[in-house]
Amino acid sequence: MAEKLNLYKCEICGNIVEVVIDGAGTLICCGEEMKLLKSRSTDGMPEKHVPFVEHMGTSHVIKVGSQPHPMTNEHFIQFIEAISDDRRYLKRKYLNPDEEPEMVIKCLEEDDFEAREYCNIHGLYSNKENE
């Protein structure tokens, strides 16, 4: 069963979808079952991926990661998103190569959201552990 806000990827064409409202069905793309993307919350490679949040007054800056992640045409962060802990609000920023791997948000309470990002090569990372 697909759960709200989970991300799924087609391993054939590369489509990535996010579940807006969950249902009992199986997500299919290119004739195959889509793969659930599980986020990681630890870094095990030279490029740093785990998002972290800097609080600046009423603004929060989500950065990827503790050392800025590369932003080249071949290897870059495709999006960053913030999801409120009650799972009712979502904000996403799509990034292009050569941009800073960060997003500023102003509308969510401090420490009240999950920050996650997607690297085109290394996949999904979160600042919170998911089971």
**Which of left, alpha, beta for 66 (phi over 0: left; psi -120 to 50: alpha)?**
alpha
- Closest contact distance (angstroms) between CB of 83 and Fe ion is 21
- Closest contact distance (angstroms) between CB of 34 and Fe ion is 21
Binding-residue total with Fe ion (CB under 5 A): 4
Which residues from 98-127 bind Fe ion, rule CB under 5 A? 119, 121-122
- Closest contact distance (angstroms) between CB of 60 and Fe ion is 22
- Closest contact distance (angstroms) between CB of 79 and Fe ion is 13
The sheet carrying 16-18 orders its strands as 16-18, 7-9, 35-36
Scanning the structure block, which residue is given the tokens 């990034």?
Answer: 95
Cis peptide before 57 (omega within 30 of 0): no
Name the residue whose CB lies closest to Fe ion: 119
Which residues from 32-91 bind Fe ion, rule CB under 5 A? 47
Q: Which residues of 35-48 are buried (b: 16+ CB within 10 A; e: fewer)?
A: eeeebbeeeeeebb
Q: Which is nearer to Fe ion, 18 or 47 (CB)?
A: 47
**Residues interacting with Fe ion, by CB under 5 A?**
47, 119, 121-122
